[in-house]
Chains A and B, each alone.
Chain A
Amino acid sequence: MTVTEVPTSAGGNPIGFGRMLRKEDARFLRGQGHYIDDMDMPGMLHGAILRSPVAHAYIKSIDTSAAEAHPKVKAVITGATLETLGLAWVPTLSYDTAAVLATDKVRFQGQEVAFVIAEDKYSARDALELIDVEYEILPPVVDAKKALDPGAPVIRTDKEGKTDNHIFDWEAGDEAKCDAAFAKADVIVSQDMLYPRVHPSPMETCGAVALMDKVTGQLTIWCTSQAPHAHRTIYALVAGLPEQKIRVVTNDIGGGFGNKVGIYSGYVLAIVGSIVTGKPVKWVEDRSEHLMSTAFARDYHMHGEIAATKEGKILGVRVNVLADHGCFNGTAQPTKFPAGFFHIFTGSYDYEAAHCKVTGVYTNKAPGGVAYACSFRITEAVYLVERLVDCLADEMKIDPAQLRLQNLLRAEQFPYTTPTGWEYDSGNYGPTLLEAMRIAGYDELRAEQRGRRERRAAGDTSEPLMGIGLSFFTEGVGAGPRKHMDILGLGMADGAELRVHPTGKAQLRLSCISQGQGHQTTFAQIVAQELGIPPEDVEVIQGDTDNTPFGLGTYGSRSTPVSGGAAAIVARRVRDKARVVAAAALECSPDDLEWKLGRWQVKGDPEKGKTIQEIAMLSHSSLELPDGVEGHLDGTCVYNPPNLTYPFGAYICVTDVDPGTGEVKVRRFIAVDDCGPRINPMIVEGQVHGGLADGVGMALMQVIAFDEEGNNLGGSFMDYLLPTSMECPSWELGETITPSPHHPLGVKGVGESATVGSPPAVVNSVLDAIQVRHADMPLTPAQVWRAMQGNPFRTDLAIT
């Protein structure tokens, strides 16, 4: 992409791409954000959910009489109530079913059992204590590796004829070709690895306010949704409510990270509660409820193998995965792909053969699985291949940077079709890795490491161990092409509507929804770039299904790749229409006009022209327009992306490890991202920063483990550790720019790149420091210390 000088608005902002302070900050800085728990309405009631204290049990009885007698309680809803409405069980996003409230039995600790509606939230919580549930305890399935054992307790007894905990088998790639590649290999390295269950944990938990107007039949639900339009359609399909009378509104969201894609029991219960009471009902969960019941991520037990020649040329990769999906298969991902986009695990390297098999199983754990900035399981895929490459480097005693440089795809191979069928749109990988190595001072770091090792070998133990870890990732974002991708039958195209008002000020209506990504600013910049009007003149409207076009929402880094494409195209359509209007006003042919900096002007006579603002007024005026040209200056577009976009990057992590305690300090982290041109570099860098912190958290701290009784061991922030300012280094960023050939703006999306790419860099660094082939995340001091003793533990279970 040629770099052109971007003009500046009177407000000092770029009319197009460039650093621009965020429009949304004005309200957040003043404490005037509008999050779900900030809502208050006259007569609003408050709901609270009673949850199962055990992982697996029959419900023998539920006595709600004492709770109903509480003076401030308005209603108590149980699974039996919902059965009468046909809402006790609802479809999941993966064509399974899930209980809104448990009826027959509970299947995970924290499962929803009853819903109390009271005048205030303290009373609602009090009344939960008054509900008496009698459970008959069943043995739980905690260890995914034992879920398919003969005689394992069957979790889904609600499914007729179900005699085991098997969900699906799925495979991708060419097994025979892969076997042939392995047969001719000089070196084969195998490694078991777990990407443990983690939870996205946005700082705002999930919540909803529902209001059913019984007179008009209008249902309004304000909620923490990353996909308001999808929610509306699903409510209509599941509950049989007329879709034209359902309005889903999402105002500000306090972080999403994929956790807020799905529909939770609490949302449905708030709706039912409003139907029952005739009042608005608010439900906002507490932190433990959030951690124990809402969408988790990962939980992939992987056995990977990598094959290479003795010269270090990688020939193939194969992997078997045991996927723990919890007790309901509720993953949120394109329907055709039960393992998400995991089969992109061939990564950034050039080899012919690859194969994966994935088996999904039920366990007595919360449902979910695709959440947390994972780009539909590319996180797991990148971790697998980047760990395997390091294992191969370790086996062959090759520098891991050298091994990567030797095998990275070359620029001339793009567009590149992977062994499992993805078509990478564009890439130029080598320079990106070299840039990361340059910023890091890679050779100097290795020299420093050698020095430390030599001094330690000579008996000087005063310095910590030093590790240098790399990862190179290829992401696939912007789901997606309708012919390949839908969720519950809804194709993943996004609409956009642009209205240019008579004075030349514009409103852009989008289906996606910001959770902190800065859409109000970035999308205004897109319109500014295409129409030549100041970004401060463009208002971006999102989150209200009554007021925005249909589309599938914000997750999988899809906003800029999909809605961004829609925004660019709709602006171009408006620009084309403006040309016709300008020609009518200038009494010339549209072909005689050329576009320059927000103005249609006569070729060869630039004095004669009309600005977009003048054209906007003319469009709404009495100016006579050519036959067939309607007035006004509005446009609509539905953008169906022809392919995913494939951002990529090279990350280097430097750690110091205390061999006495196992404590890891991330000393430096270098991240070079290539996401194509950057609409707002400030926002892009912020997105990368956040994802890097996530990577450090997952690699070193975060895990949701379970004990043998199925108790959730990560059910509060005292147990589920998130990185603070003390665990995070000062990030060092770089960039290369390889545009997408098919996106209207060449941009590729970046929201999840760092979360996807950074965990293996941290893990590779720690393992490089302690010179151990593998240990599973999180690399807590205990795990690092145990790994150094040759005895790493399983991080998904209680430590033994």
Chain B
Amino acid sequence: MQVTLNVNGQEVSRDVEPRLLLIHFLRDHLRLTGSHWGCDTSNCGVCVVWMDGEPVKSCTVLTAMADGRSIRTVEDLEQGGALAPIQQGFMNMHGLQCGFCTPAMMMTGQALLDRNPDPSTDEIREAICGTICRCTGYENIVRAIRWAAENATENTEVSV
């Protein structure tokens, strides 16, 4: 079936199987490999991307369901060669180790900040609890998102 969607600001049309998962479409068809796949049950959350500005687990979204929608992935966070505050926060606060959950954590964290620019640590923990990290014990991810909240700048961040 034919789908047309906007991915990171670019319109994309492809003929895909109706069963094709969005995460596989992004990774295998568009070669946007920054978003990862980690489980089949929507539990691990390393596949989080934005669909129309909402974080979704893209292993549980069919590409067909994204027809006509806007998708944003980690590859779009950096703008004009400058890291977004959320990326800077993860680096400065050592919010990542193996890097596998990091794109999902940053997309989730940014979605939170877009709605709540000054979240408490409890609010951050609740927001990211749908993605599992095996390396960091979460503390530095919470600090990274707080760092981004405290160092938000407009020139490096472009919303969808």
Contact = CB atoms under 8 A, between A and B. Distances in A.
Interface of A: 21-22, 24-25, 27-33, 35, 37-38, 40, 121-122, 200-205, 252-255, 257, 286-288, 515-518, 682-683, 685-686, 688-694, 716-718, 722, 724-726, 728, 730-731
B39 A690 contact: no
A26 to B, nearest CB: 8
Contacts of B103: 31
Contact of B136 (A205, A689, A716): A689
A717 B73 CA distance: 24
B19 A122 contact: yes
Contacts of A37: 27, 33, 36-37
Contacts of A252: 98-99
A289 to B, nearest CB: 10
A682 B144 CA distance: 13
Given A29-B96, A716-B39, A726 B126 contact: yes
Contacts of A517: 97
Instruction: List the 4 closest A-B pairs by CB distance, nearest first.
Output: A31-B34, A516-B98, A28-B99, A254-B100
Interface stretch (B40-48, B61-69, B150-158): B40-48
A254 B98 contact: yes
B51 interface: no
Contacts of B92: 21
Given A31-B75, A32-B34, A728-B139, A716 B41 contact: yes
A717 B39 contact: yes
14 contacts: A28-B96, A29-B77, A33-B100, A37-B33, A204-B98, A205-B38, A255-B135, A515-B98, A517-B97, A690-B135, A691-B137, A725-B125, A726-B129, A730-B139
Interface residues of B, number: 59
Contacts of B94: 21-22, 682-683, 685-686
A392 B79 CA distance: 60
Contacts of A40: 28, 31
A35 B36 contact: yes
A35 B39 contact: no
Contact of B90 (A25, A32, A257, A722): A25
Contact of B137 (A28, A121, A288, A728): A728
B46 to A, nearest CB: 5
Contacts of A689: 136-140
Interface string B71-111: 00111011000010001001110101111111100100000
Contact of B41 (A30, A287, A722, A724): A287
- Of B99, B121, B125, chain A has the most CB atoms within 10 Å of the CB of B99
Nearest to B17: A122
Nearest to B124: A725
B99 A33 contact: yes
B38 A203 contact: yes
Contacts of B99: 24-25, 27-28, 33, 252, 254, 516
Contact of B135 (A32, A286, A516, A726): A516
Nearest to B92: A21
Contacts of A724: 128-132, 138
A690 B132 contact: no
Contact of B121 (A253, A515, A716, A730): A730
B98 A287 contact: no
Contact of A253 (B34, B98, B139): B98
